[in-house]
Amino acid sequence: MFVNVHRLRKCRLRHLMTMCFVMLMVTVYWETLDNSILSHIKSYSLRRLFTSFDYISANLKISHEEARKFSNHRYLINHEQKCAGQNVLLLLFVKTSPENFERRQAIRSTWGNEVYIEETLGATVRVLFALGLHPQPVQRRKLQRQLQEENERYHDLIQQDFFDTFHNLTLKLLLQMSWTHFYCCHARFLMSADDDIFVHLPNLIRYLQEADKAGVKDFWIGKVHRGSPPVRSKESKYYVSQEMYPWSIYPDYTPGAGYVLSKDVASRVYQASLTLNSSIHIDDVFLGICANAMGISPQDHVFFSGEGRAPYHLCIYNQMMTSHGHEEDFHELWRHATDPEVQKVSSGLFGRLYCTVAKVRLLCISHLFVSYPCKAAFL
């Protein structure tokens, strides 16, 4: 049999060059990969060993006077009567930034439309936007005038005088907890969501109405992160120093993108925040620390997407709670997700079978997003 020696040598050379390139890449990135993998394995192992994180909250305990230094911010815009005299099922805080006017508008006209929810589902929902001050002085003056005009029109902004930056997200959490405690503590549920989150409010309201009828307590749902390690890479915006957080594992928590608390949990988290050092700027982690101090654990809900964007499909919309990473498609997604055909396509034996197959393909086989787990396909 004739063998082309020249072609064989070229093929071997190509394979050798490919191997060299792969080895080079592994060498270059090994330290980063190794640190990330090892830290997650270590934290997961510790999570299996320790069921209590009381030592963390015990070490972060401070006096009320010290705690007030973190939350003692003045209201620039407030609506003290927003919940007064109302039978509020859900108080929904959207974390936003001063410049994100278009996102707020999109939310008001889609899933954050209070009138639609009340007329369609018979539930009272109050939607508020939590924000601080723009950190740049020139932009701040301009945006403050615009925010005042926006608030005069919509009456749904709650603003305090801290700088609205990533490293002040915990202050924004404290704003939400404090406002709820003083002005809307009778709301049966509290939700916190980012302004790039799509919330399927009809699905969520139906779910919360059932939970409310059952009289649930210790209710905290979202996509649960268990055994997560602190990020020690200084290049990451999630970097947390050893001095700030010396432990190698976080208590269980739900990503700040979207989660729901029952009113008893919201009240106890607020009380815990008055006695804990909130200098850690990862707000969802601080929520986990507060909840853990009060003996509260989060419950995983497979249709809360956490950081991921949910696949676009009728069979997904039927059970969707949240989907992350939306900025320009709120109207289109709202139109599709609330289409009456969504309910029809999954009804009956063949509809359920079709949707199961479709969800298996979307969530188990061609799963490209960190959205819903494969097990959600069978629910």
Q: Cβ–Cβ contacts within 10 Å for residue 156, how many? A: 20
Q: So what's the pLDDT on residue 4?
A: 53
Contacts of residue 345, Cβ cutoff 8 Å, sequence gap at least 6: 314, 315, 318, 351, 354, 355
Contacts of residue 217, Cβ cutoff 8 Å, sequence gap at least 6: 262, 264, 265
Cα-Cα-Cα-Cα torsion 270, 223, 162, 113, nearest 10 degrees, comes to: -100
List the chain pLDDT tens, one digit each, 379 residues. Answer: 444 545 545 555 665 565 555 555 544 444 444 444 444 444 444 554 555 688 898 899 999 889 888 888 999 999 999 999 999 999 999 999 999 999 999 999 999 999 999 999 999 999 999 999 999 999 999 999 999 999 999 999 999 999 999 999 999 999 999 999 999 999 999 999 999 999 999 999 999 999 999 999 999 999 999 989 999 999 999 999 999 999 999 999 999 999 999 999 999 999 999 999 999 999 999 999 999 999 999 999 999 998 889 999 999 999 999 999 998 899 999 999 999 888 888 889 999 999 999 999 999 886 655 689 999 999 9
Cα-Cα-Cα-Cα torsion 218, 284, 250, 261, nearest 10 degrees, comes to: 10
Length of the chain as a residue count: 379
Measure Cα distances from 65 to 154, 181, 281 in Å.
36, 18, 20
- Sheet with 258-262, strands from edge to edge, namely 75-77, 157-163, 125-133, 90-95, 189-194, 258-262, 220-222, 299-300
Predicted TM-score (pTM) of the model is: 0.86
Contacts of residue 294, Cβ cutoff 8 Å, sequence gap at least 6: 265, 268, 269, 271, 272
The rounded distance, in Å, linking the Cα atoms of 339 and 13 is: 57
The SS3 assignment for 199 reads strand
Q: For residue 27, what are its two tokens?
A: 């060498």
Q: So what's the pLDDT on residue 307?
A: 81
Measure Cα distances from 344 to 176, 316, 352, 359 in Å.
38, 13, 10, 16
CATH architecture of 64-300: Alpha-Beta Complex (3.90)
How is the chain split into domains, by residue range? 7-49, 64-300, 314-378
